[in-house]
Amino acid sequence: MKKSHSLFGIAIACLFLTAIVLPNILLASTKMPAFVLENVVDGKSVDSVDFQGKALLVTFFATWCPPCMQEIPTLVELQQEFAEEGFSVIGLSVDQGGSAEVARLVERQAINYPVLMADAQTAENFGGVFGIPVSYLVNKSGNVVKQYTGLIPHAVLAKDVRSVVK
């Protein structure tokens, strides 16, 4: 019986490493995918090259997603807190109805970071967006160093952003 318990424990440990640790290790060496997307406010194209040398928090969201809406004040605070240190949040909307509703959200919520309309290719290039919100922390070298799924507390995000802006 003890042998089967130890094998079970090893199997659980392997699953943990595969599901939790390994993806973050692999992300540490992954370049952020390039994109050119439309800004929801003015319709101008925004190229990811414009953010070279900055630390980023790229977040996929939608106007109809309650956790995404809850996250906005935290993202606004992070933008205010770290912008002068070479940091930017980038919101990538996966809304299907066009940019007008997203632009209204930007105005209503006084969003102070770029909000762009994501396309299917961009979502796929980030590894496939299967749920929202999902965010990617990118260091100043342009490497994705962490992925967050769901609503993440401000303290966690601020600590992680601090580690990539220094």
For residues 14 and 73, membership in a common domain is answered with no
For residues 85 and 68, membership in a common domain is answered with yes
For residues 1 and 49, membership in a common domain is answered with no
Give the C-alpha separation, 21 to 26, whole Å.
Answer: 9
pLDDT at 13: 38
For residues 78 and 24, membership in a common domain is answered with no
> If we measure between CA atoms, which residue out of 58, 88, 94 comes closest to residue 76?
88
For residues 8 and 76, membership in a common domain is answered with no
For residues 94 and 49, membership in a common domain is answered with yes
Q: pLDDT (tens digit, 9 = 90+) per residue, 138-161?
A: 999 999 999 999 999 999 999 999
108-128 average pLDDT score: 96
**Hey, is 99 helix, strand or coil?**
helix
Q: If you compute the radius of gyration of the chain from its CA atoms, what whole number of angstroms results?
A: 18
For residues 62 and 17, membership in a common domain is answered with no
pLDDT at 80: 98
Instruction: Say whether the peptide bond before residue 133 is cis (omega within 30 degrees of 0).
Output: yes
For residues 77 and 125, membership in a common domain is answered with yes
For residues 94 and 114, membership in a common domain is answered with yes
Q: Residue 64 belongs to a domain with what CATH number? A: 3.40.30.10
For residues 107 and 136, membership in a common domain is answered with yes
For residues 4 and 60, membership in a common domain is answered with no
pTM of the model: 0.82
pLDDT at 163 over 90: yes
pLDDT at 142: 96
pLDDT at 19: 41
pLDDT at 2: 52
pLDDT band at residue 162 using 50, 70 and 90 as cut-offs: very high
pLDDT at 39 over 70: yes
Show Cβ contacts of residue 147 under 8 Å, excluding neighbours closer than 6 positions: 23, 24, 27, 127, 134, 135, 136, 137
Q: pLDDT (tens digit, 9 = 90+) per residue, 52-63?
A: 999 999 999 999
| Full domain range(s) for residue 36 | 32-165
Within 10 angstroms of residue 36's Cβ, the number of other Cβ atoms is 13
